[in-house]
Amino acid sequence: MRTEKEKMLAQELYLASDPDLLQDVKRSRRLTRLFNQTTEDQLAERRELLKELFKKTGENFYIEPPFRCDYGTNISIGEHFFANFDCVILDVADVTIGHHVMFGPKVNLFTAGHPVDPTVRSSGLEFGLAITIGDNVWIGGNATINPGVSIGNNTIIGSGSVVTKDIPDNVIAAGNPCRIIRQVTAADTRLWEQRQRTYWAEITTNKHGMEQMDD
């Protein structure tokens, strides 16, 4: 007979009140409490707590406290992941986040779902559906990603969006429900690469000027 945890991870109906799952929740609460109580000088401690909490991490990542999750053990994050204040991830199913992903403040990822029928819902049964976020994704503040959603590579989700369906690669999407606004185009690439060149040219010029003053 399968355990409730096995049913949960299989994205089937399960009872969250199962004693083994409650122990897993207790572990998560302890680690997130310790993480959220760290100071701005305890960056190494924060990193180690998150590596213990999560299923998988890259070597370079940063999450700004406070942070909340259900279990942590179902969350995988890639290299150079950043999440701003008040991120919440309900990870009763797998949450997989790619490389170079940025979250604005108050971004929510909810894998948890509940039966539509009120009687079944009242019984305590629930389920989860996995969330997958590709590489180079930027999710704006106060956005909510609902159960079962996948977001493609290089995509931007606008602030305040409620994402209820999959969003493909290379688009800008926003709204409630979230819809595609436009593609990320070659013109965008040219514009931002030019602005990047201008930035570095200014840095180089200023550095050269300072060196001349030192001479």
Residues identified as active-site: 114
Instruction: With CA atoms as reference, report the closest residue to 144 among 162, 167, 123.
Output: 162
CB 111 within 8 A of CB 90: yes
CA distances to 56, 80, 212 from 98, in Å: 11, 9, 44
CA distance 44 to 37: 13
Name 75's bridge partners. Answer: 95
Q: In what order do the strands lie in the sheet with 131-133?
A: 75-77, 95-97, 131-133, 150-151
CA distance 164 to 187: 29
CB 11 within 8 A of CB 128: yes
Instruction: With CA atoms as reference, report the closest residue to 63 among 44, 47, 40, 39.
Output: 47
Judge residue 206's burial from the number of C-beta atoms within 10 Å of its C-beta, 0-12 exposed, 13-18 middle, 19 or more buried. exposed
